[in-house]
């Protein structure tokens, strides 16, 4: 398994979160998630402006094997989506920690503290 970046926070549902600027959090899926899913062929992302609550289903990733729901790790408003993924969903497979899916302007940054550290996530996935 690849190293888990220590500067990210992780959800038990296999999303990672990175505080990018001020209150904007970039969200992607973990290496564990993409390796379990296999080659991604389509990603359905939330619309810009959508209000999300922590734990709400907000996106779907589809692979050659299956489809999987993604959940918002924090409460806030979607402010950006990664447009490159419409034509190149495989970017997530190639570099899951460098390829964010969408960004949220968080209502409450303390929700990040409820997510797992890299070490806690590693234990969660049995690594």
Six-digit token pair at 64?
């050659």
Q: Does domain 9-112 have CATH number 2.40.50.100?
A: yes
What pLDDT score does 2 carry? 65
pLDDT tens sequence across 62-114: 999 899 999 999 999 999 999 999 999 999 999 999 999 999 999 999 999 99
The rounded distance, in Å, linking the Cα atoms of 120 and 23 is 24
- Consecutive H or E run containing 10: strand 9-10
Q: What is the pTM of this model?
A: 0.95
């Amino acid at each position: 398994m690849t190293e888990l970046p220590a500067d990210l926070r992780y959800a038990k549902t296999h999303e990672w979160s990175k505080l990018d600027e001020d209150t904007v959090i970039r969200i992607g899926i973990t290496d564990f998630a993409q390796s379990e899913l296999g080659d991604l062929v389509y990603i359905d992302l939330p619309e810009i402006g959508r209000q999300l609550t922590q734990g709400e289903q907000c996106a779907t990733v589809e692979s050659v094997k299956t489809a999987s729901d993604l959940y918002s790790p924090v409460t806030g408003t979607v402010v950006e989506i990664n447009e490159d993924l419409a034509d190149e969903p495989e970017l997530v497979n190639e570099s899951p920690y460098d390829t964010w899916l969408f960004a949220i302007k968080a209502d409450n940054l303390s929700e990040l503290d409820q997510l797992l550290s890299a070490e806690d996530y590693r234990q969660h996935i049995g690594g």
